[in-house]
Amino acid sequence: MLDGVAIAAMTGDTVLSAILLHTRRVRDTEFSGEPRGGFCLMGACQDCWVQLEEGTRIRACSTFVKEGMRVLTRPVGVVGA
């Protein structure tokens, strides 16, 4: 699930690739609300952090999709969400 919508992903996909196959942005920046698509794409920056529904933050570029994941790109309670 991505922001409450069921999406498909293949075995071996990262969360980032699954997100970008279904939407044009990974998240909105908490500072300006501008859309972000990732930056380094290899886990060295902080640009692709998203949140799992239970609250755990993950790097979308280096986390592999698992069946049953519930990813939030607009966490509840974040300004601009």
pLDDT digits (tens, 9 = 90+) for 37-81: 878 878 888 888 999 999 999 999 999 999 999 999 876 655 444
**Alpha-carbon distance values, 14 to 23, 29, 65 (Å):** 14, 20, 5
Q: Are 70 and 52 in contact (CB under 8 A)?
A: yes
Give dist(CA 34, CA 10) in Å, integer: 29
Q: Please state whether 11 falls in left (phi above 0), alpha (psi between -120 and 50) or beta.
A: beta
Q: Is the pTM of this model over 0.75?
A: yes
The mean pLDDT value for 1-24 works out to 93
Give dist(CA 81, CA 19) in Å, integer: 17
